[in-house]
Each structure stands twice: as C-alpha cells, then as structure tokens.
Structure 1
Amino acid sequence: MAGNTFGQLFRITTFGESHGEAIGVIVDGCPAQVDIDLDFIQAELDKRKPGQSKITTQRKEADTVKILSGTFEGKTTGTPIAMIIPNEDQRSKDYGHNVDVFRPSHADYTYFTKYGIRDHRGGGRSSARETAARVAAGALAKLFLKTQGIEIAAHVSSVGKLNAPAVTIDDVESFIARRESNIVRCADAATAETMIEFIDEVRKDGDTVGGKVSCYVKNCPVGLGEPVFDKLHADLGKAMLSINAVHGFEFGSGFAGSEMRGSQHNDIFIAPSASNTGVKTATNFSGGIQGGISNGMPIEFKVAFKPVATIMHNQETINSKGEAAEISGKGRHDPCVVPRAVPIVEAMAALVLADHVLRNRAAKV
C-alpha cells in the first residue's frame, strides 16, 4: 500500500493499524540538536487520545509514546527518529457484526474493492487511530519550529451551525489556555458551553455532527512555499484533506472571497515604521500566503469535518456480494470528531511548515 509517507525534507512514514499491536511513525530529515521534550510530545498526544470526556469515544488508550531511535542525551541526532504507541483497548469483538457488511460512508467498500481484502476491526489503516502517529511527529516538528520562532494554534470554531466569534491571537499561550479550559476546545467560553450541550444531545440521539477547526500560524517568515506546484496553501490543503473525515479546506477569505470585489479583497501593503517593524498588510484576506508563498502575516485557515459515519441507528447497506443488507452502529465512537481533531490539524500544519522551512534554505545564496 503506497501513500504512507508525507513531506520532502522533513519526512514522515506512519505504520500500524487500529486493532494491531501498535501504531508508529518514522521521522527522517529532522535537523540535529533539536531539544527533545518528551513531556511536550506526550501532552500533544493526550489532547488527541480517546476517552477524554463525555463528548468523545470511550475507548481507553494511554497513547504513551516511546522513542526508539534518533536521539542522544535529549537531542535529535539528525538520523531517523522512530516513535511507537502501543494499542491497549481494541475490543475487536465490537466489529464482529460488519465482517461481511460495508458501513455507509466508511472506507470499507472502497478499500475492499481496491485491495480485495480489508481489516473490518475499526477499519485498519483507514481508522483515525493512525492520526496519533501524525500527532507524535507533528509535536517533534513543533519543537523544531520553536527554534525558528514559529507558533501554531487551533481551536474548534464551529459545531453544526453553532459558530464561535472570530478571534485574534495576540498571545498563543493564553489562547491555548482558553481553548483547553473546556472539553470541546473552543476558545470562546460561552460558545463552548452551547457546543458541549448540543454534542451531548446528538450523542444521546445515537447520532453524530460535524464542525470546523480554525488554525493560526504566528511569526511565519516571508518566503515559505514554492511558486508553482508546491504552493504553501496547496501543501497545507493536501495535509488537511489527508486527515480522516475532512471534507473542506479554505485559507484566508476562502469561499467568501469569491463574493467580494478586488477593491475590497486586496490586502494593501503598509510600509515599515517605528511602530511597525517589517512589511505588513492592512487586511489579511490572503491568509498570510500570496502566490503560494508566505508573506509574513499570520497564516489563517479552516478545516471542515463531516459527521462521524458510525451512528447508532439501523441503516440500509450492501455486503461483499453486492446483496442488500442492514447494519447498526456498535462499539465506541465520537459523536463529534472536532474536539480531538484540533491537535491533528496543528500537527499536520507543523509538518508542512517544518518541511518548507528546510526547503527554503536552498532558495537563494
């Protein structure tokens, strides 16, 4: 199976399945002498792990990461870094009902048709369990980006039709503290309370709901991204769309920009001054990226997640012989994936930015 590797210079390959012995990742290309903060890496994984609250799946996984290679005396050595996360609470018997039946809107049918075989226990490689490996690698990328002064922060900006007010991030640490003060990971406390109540209602109905994660990158230098096929926003879009359940990506003004005039949408440049170091723009409809290259303004984008496909209702479907069948969701599943998706979005953004920071070093003499 191809498609398990991401990135060019800062490159990761993930491995493992939802109900296998473990999942893991190999990171190749991370520069030497990056300080390894294992507590930070584990804290990032803790934000993604299941069983956090009443609005997430009740699967219990410690998601304890172990670094097997590529470090010495607390620093990276420049060699491949292998990280592994054991699976501890699979409950494969919960999936006995769909051995030969395809779950609607899952990868069951497409995987089976493509490969002629599939792991019915949680979806195997198609399971969102794989994203734990990405978060571990993304945490390492964040530690590298920290040496460059680049910071990344995301939060749940909508659940269903409930939308949080637009936010401006002056201080990343305080923003993250506000976000982590509630189980839905929305930086606006009032909206968060409403979101939690709504998700819990949906859960009790045996149903699911989608939402959006908004992500912000601060202190990104000018020049990241390539002008043609590897535009920065294109690589961010690919990264986000590779996350399970993602159905949409927009940066800057996004789709709303298509309804504006150029006179409204153009970001006017502001010359440097005593109070304004560096070139800025009066607005940021470009989302910090112009011509596929970062312009020094904050990078802003949104990621839309569909409702989780497994619902606790009977649904019509087909089996592997193409015959009509019926299926009902069983086991432990998220009623809304976005609270646990926040660290995944940040991780994928970090991997893209780390890769482009390294690639940009060869741009000019």
Structure 2
Amino acid sequence: MPRVIMHMDMDAFFASVEQRDNPEYRGKPVIVGSPPDQRGVVCAASYEARKFKVRSAMPSRTAGRLCPAGIFVRPRMEVYRAESARIMRILQEFTPMIEQVSVDEAYLDVSAHADPDLEVDAAIDAARPMAAAIKRRIREECGLTASVGISANKFLAKLASDFQKPDGLTVIFDRDKIAFLRPLPVSAIHGVGPVTAQGLESLGLRTIGDLQDSTQGLEAVAGSFAARLRERAMGNDGRELDLSEERKSISAENTFLNDTDARPVLRAALKEMALDVAGTLGKHGVGAMTVQVKVRYSDFTTLTRQIRLEEPVTTEREIYRMACYLLARDRLVTGPLRLIGIGLSTLVAPEQRRQLRLGI
C-alpha cells in the first residue's frame, strides 16, 4: 500500500484568531503578547506584522520598535485551546490516524484512503481533494485558514505545508523530492541545530543539495546523526505517526545543598540544566514549543510558570534565556530557593525553527 502523509498547519494561529474575532484588526499588523512598554515577549505575529520582521519570542519592546503601528493583544490561551480542539475534531472526521504535534498543527496518515494498486505519486495526487476539503471545512466552520502539505513521509509533508503559506496546498511527489530539497538550507532538516549547521558550513555544505552530493566527512561534524542526515537529504523518513495521547516532556531539576537566592548560583544551575535538556532534545531530533520553570522555596511551597511559543526552542542558549525570562516575568526569586528546575513539553520536529533573540 502506498504511504500518504499530510501535514496541517494553521496560519499565524493566535494572531488569526484575534483578527477573526476583532474585524477592525483584519489586514493590520497584530502582535499577540505583552505591550511594548512592558517587559515581555511576542507569542505570535500576524503576516502583516511579520513583514516588519516581528517574530515570536522577540522582546515586545523590540517588536514595538520594528512595527510602530503594531496592534498588541494579550494572549487568550483558553480561546486558542478551544479553537484547536474544534479543528482537531474536524480532522478526526477525515481519519483517526492523527498525530497532533502542537496546538495548531498535526500529521495525518491517509494511506488507508488510497487505492492499494496505485503507485505512490498517484496516491499522493489522489489525496488533493481531501486536503482541499479539510481546508474548506476549517475556513467555513472556524473562519481561519490552514496550509496543508502532502507527500510520502512526515519530513516532506511538513516542508510542503510551509512552502506556500498562508492558505497553501503543496504536494511533493516522490519523483520530485531530490530536486525540491536541493536549494533548501541544511537547517531545514530537523535535528540540524546552529552548531551542526556551522560545522556543515565549515565543510562547504550550506544547502541540502550540498549534502546530497557529499560522500564523506559528515561523521566528524554530525557524529551518529550523520546517517540520518544523509537519509533526510535524500527525502527519506521512515518515522511512523505517534498516535498515543500521552503528553511527552523533558525536564531537569537541581536541589541545592543550602537554600540560596544568589544570582550567580541560580544562573549556573539554569545553564547546566539548559545544557542537559537541550542535549536530550538533540538526541531525539526534536524542539520544544513550551518552556516551564519550577521553583521550591524554603517552606516547600512550589510554583511553576510556563510560556507557549510559536516556534520551537532547540538550543541551550534559547532554553536558558526563556527560563530567565520566566523567573523575571513572574518575580519568582523572592527569597532563598530549595530547588529550581526547567521543563520542556509540546515536543515537535523543528524543521523550520529560527534562532530566538531575546533581550534578557
């Protein structure tokens, strides 16, 4: 049976919900997050705001400078979660084979809907009407647009959904995958972080086409990841959809010998934990859309605070900065701490991540 995978990704989800619910915001640069005159970050940006280079996790003050006419809106997470549940119910009407990877995106295995006698590219092409129907249902019932990619595996389907945003429907045929991948940067391959990308560039490998043409030297830069890197460069991905509903997370904690609120000690602990959880992300080739910090005080009172991002974090520096931001935002260090921890959840394949720049 030919394998056919779809990837559905909502377009600027948080900001699009705000534009839908507030008609006066439509066609204008909407920035979901803290106001620019307060310490905080951008959670999401509409496509109009992105034209000014506003991106999620950017400090709100920076976003305000880049986009003076931006409309800043406080996030309404309960509304976004409810809308996400409605969208996922629509997807369930098309197939039960769904892997929801974040609040606004999911993979669908629609192989069972294909004629088993079809060649893979014919089966992929035959899935277009279903993808169009999914987009139409979301538009008519939710008043929002989604982009859908169709291909023979998860890696290619995700790339396809990103290719013609917003409101796109892109197909990558098996026969075309090598040519499609050639001009893309190596960072388009999930698991290639800034350090690996820099190492590959030192070998003259800047594009996936360069990787396709390379026959040696990858192990020195990518280690055990080299074999998978070659597979992705050729458009191959054997991963099955994870249909379990169990929430996956990664965390690290540090219990101090003596309770402390000394900033150098806390920063050192955060950096060590960020390195630990970033290493685990790298081993699994994923990024995290949600970052959480945990503190326990001398009287054993325990608090957690988290932030949900539009783009996944993958590196030690990104995770450390987000943890510092959460501690400062909620003024969690009000006295000596017995324990401090970092948690990551909503784990996704970070194909199109960008290095976060936080002014912390």
TM-score by length of 1: 0.28
Point out which structure has higher relative CO (alpha carbons under 8 A, 6+ apart): 1
Instruction: Give TM-score, length-normalised by structure 2.
Output: 0.28
